[in-house]
């Protein structure tokens, strides 16, 4: 029987092309990974030059929003139209957005250019993982996913450094100009080396109505979660209206999807045990990672009194442990299967989150680093195997949608995590002039945040246990 692994090889052409393709995918991922960290250190400088300091949060929210809501649409389009053309469009959009950001003359112009960057990033992330899954066998995928994860690890250190250097010694505009050569090399390499055969038979129609309903409903949902409690109160008319409209649009999408033979996002995929469980696990990954990324630096600076640089290094331990475990996970899941690998990883995550409960006002920074390093190790054994399990369970024609579903769930988890944990912290603290929580209740608030993260880690253990027992060496369904 032809498996998705071998079918993918026949769709590509020469296997010798895989090295340059992987390099291009890593460069494309670097665009998004650097962008996630490089802007933070320059936001004050940008606001000083362009004005409108109160609009600075939208530099991040607009990008995150555009990226998150387009992921499922791009995933389905890649299954219908092919990976190459959708990926090239995504990189081109990101580069166009970067150029417009670099020449932005006002804060609104910069924000809208960030939206364009986000639209490109929404294609780059899921398609990078999907193409890597297409061109590498199951035994090779953990190593390649480890390479992709290492891009994030390097970017987490390099991004803030470059942002500070550019904004202080050159110009903040170089934060965006640096994307152009990186993206151009990735785009040209994929265009020249990635050879994808046309699909046999008639092409499935694109569900434009579903795309509009899903994008609109998701946009309002993520917008409400990101801005609720900050730009407006949770019980305000704005929140009620936004969430109400989101529910209406998403309900309309669900009805339309049931009546469409080839919906833009097939909800029936979630009924498959492996896809549903991996998606739920990805949701928890999003909550935990962004929760820690947001509040570990605040804890280090506000409670322990260390500087931003030391706080950043403490958090970097999370992205250090992740790629190490992700690279090694292949040997583990090929021996004991996806389910048990993910279970071990989720238990490691739970152990790491329990270590955070031991942190107090007199803790040392190395204790924070040790805790998040353990969590990172566990994440590498959860995030990669659950995604690969879902990808391995389907053929080529559904792999893009399944990958996008996983990534979309992580984005929703991040938005939910920020909203929920932010509400917890805001209830016990006050917001300082720099926009971060402070006050006598900060230590108690951080401890409560860590308890919430422990709860999410426990839920993660439960979700990965829902994965079916598996033998990854067994042939998967035909493509």
> What local confidence, expressed as pLDDT, does residue 281 receive?
94
Enumerate residues 6+ apart whose C-beta is below 8 A from 252: 213, 217
> What local confidence, expressed as pLDDT, does residue 53 receive?
65
> What local confidence, expressed as pLDDT, does residue 62 receive?
83
Provide the residue ranges of all domains of the chain, joining segments of one domain with +.
Answer: 1-195, 207-263, 269-479
Count Cβ neighbours within 10 Å for each residue of 364-394 and write b for 16 or more, e otherwise.
eeebbbebbbbbbbbbbbbbbbbbbbbbbbb
- Evaluate whether 1-195 and 269-479 have a shared fold: yes
> What local confidence, expressed as pLDDT, does residue 218 receive?
86
Enumerate residues 6+ apart whose C-beta is below 8 A from 261: none
> What local confidence, expressed as pLDDT, does residue 103 receive?
92
DSSP letter string over 303-344?
Answer: TS---HHHHHHHHHHHHHHHHHHHHHHHHHHHHH-HHHHHHH
Q: Which residues pair with 122 in a beta bridge?
A: none
DSSP letter string over 140-171?
Answer: HHHHHHHHHHHHHHHHHHHHHHHHHHHHHHS-
CATH class of 1-195: mainly alpha
**Could you tell me if 419 and 226 are in contact, meaning their C-beta atoms sit under 8 angstroms apart?**
yes
Phi, psi of 31 (to 5 degrees): -55, -50
Number of C-beta neighbours around residue 210 at 10 A: 24
Choose the CATH number for 269-479 among 1.20.1250.20, 2.30.42.10, 1.10.287.110, 1.10.3720.10: 1.20.1250.20
* Alpha-carbon gap, residue 13 to 20, rounded angstroms: 14
Instruction: Tell me the H-state helices in 228-307.
Output: 237-259, 273-302
Q: Which of 151, 153, 145 shows the shortest CA–CA distance to 320?
A: 153
* Alpha-carbon gap, residue 58 to 64, rounded angstroms: 9
> What local confidence, expressed as pLDDT, does residue 1 receive?
31
Q: Which of 139, 104, 93, 398 shows the shortest CA–CA distance to 272?
A: 398
> What local confidence, expressed as pLDDT, does residue 423 receive?
78
**H or E, element range at 180:** helix 179-193
> What local confidence, expressed as pLDDT, does residue 86 receive?
92
Tens-level pLDDT at each residue, the chain (479 residues): 334 444 444 444 334 478 899 999 999 998 888 887 777 667 777 877 887 666 777 787 788 888 888 888 898 888 888 889 999 999 999 999 999 999 998 888 998 999 999 999 999 988 998 898 888 887 787 678 778 877 877 777 777 778 777 877 788 888 899 999 999 999 999 999 888 766 665 667 778 888 889 889 888 888 888 777 777 778 888 889 999 999 999 999 899 888 887 888 788 888 889 999 999 999 999 889 888 887 888 888 888 887 766 777 777 788 788 888 888 887 888 888 899 999 999 999 999 999 999 988 888 888 998 999 999 999 989 988 898 889 888 888 788 888 888 888 888 888 888 778 877 777 777 665 555 666 667 888 888 989 999 999 999 999 999 998 865 555 444 33
* Alpha-carbon gap, residue 176 to 204, rounded angstroms: 37
First-to-last C-alpha distance (Å) of the chain: 10
């Amino acid at each position: 029987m032809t498996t998705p692994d071998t079918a993918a090889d026949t769709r590509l052409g020469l296997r010798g092309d895989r090295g340059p393709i992987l390099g291009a995918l890593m460069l494309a991922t670097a665009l998004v990974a650097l962008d996630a960290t490089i802007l933070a250190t320059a936001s004050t400088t940008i606001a000083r030059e362009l004005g409108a300091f109160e609009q600075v949060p939208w530099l991040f929210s607009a990008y995150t929003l555009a990226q998150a809501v387009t992921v499922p649409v791009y995933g389905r389009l890649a299954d219908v139209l092919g990976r190459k053309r959708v990926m090239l469009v995504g990189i081109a959009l990101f580069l166009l957005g970067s150029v417009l950001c670099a020449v932005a003359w006002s804060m609104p112009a910069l924000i809208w250019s960030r939206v364009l960057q986000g639209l490109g990033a929404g294609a780059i992330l899921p398609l990078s993982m999907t193409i890597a899954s297409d061109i590498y066998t199951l035994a090779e995928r953990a190593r390649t996913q480890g390479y992709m994860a290492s891009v994030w690890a390097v970017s987490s250190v390099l991004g803030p450094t470059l942002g500070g250097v550019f904004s202080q010694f050159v110009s903040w505009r170089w934060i965006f100009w640096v994307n152009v050569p990186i993206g151009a090399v990735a785009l040209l390499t994929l265009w020249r080396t990635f050879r994808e055969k046309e699909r046999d038979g008639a092409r499935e129609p694109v569900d434009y109505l579903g795309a509009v309903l899903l994008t609109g409903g998701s946009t309002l949902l993520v917008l409400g979660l990101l801005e609720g409690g900050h730009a407006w109160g949770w019980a305000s008319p704005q929140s009620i209206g936004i969430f109400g409209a989101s529910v209406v649009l998403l309900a309309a999408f669900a009805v339309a999807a049931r009546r469409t033979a080839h919906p833009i996002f097939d909800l029936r995929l979630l009924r498959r045990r492996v896809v549903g469980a991996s998606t739920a696990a990805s949701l928890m990954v999003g909550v935990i990672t962004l929760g820690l990324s947001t509040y570990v630096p605040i804890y280090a600076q506000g409670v322990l009194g260390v500087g931003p640089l030391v706080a950043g290094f403490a958090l970097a331990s999370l992205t250090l442990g992740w790629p190490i475990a992700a690279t090694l996970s292949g040997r583990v899941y090929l021996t004991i299967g996806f389910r048990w690998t993910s279970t071990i990883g989720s238990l490691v995550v739970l152990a790491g989150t329990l270590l955070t409960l031991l942190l107090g006002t007199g803790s040392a920074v190395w204790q924070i680093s040790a805790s998040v390093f353990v969590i990172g190790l566990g994440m590498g054994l959860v995030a990669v195997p659950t995604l690969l399990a879902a990808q391995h369970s389907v053929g080529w024609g559904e792999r893009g949608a399944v990958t996008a579903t996983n990534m979309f769930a992580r984005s929703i988890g991040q938005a939910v995590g920020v909203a929920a944990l932010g509400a917890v912290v805001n209830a016990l603290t006050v917001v300082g002039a720099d926009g971060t929580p402070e006050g006598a209740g900060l230590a108690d608030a951080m401890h409560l945040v860590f308890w919430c993260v422990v709860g999410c880690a426990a839920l993660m253990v439960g979700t990965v246990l829902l994965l079916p027992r598996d033998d990854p060496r067994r042939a998967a369904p035909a493509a």
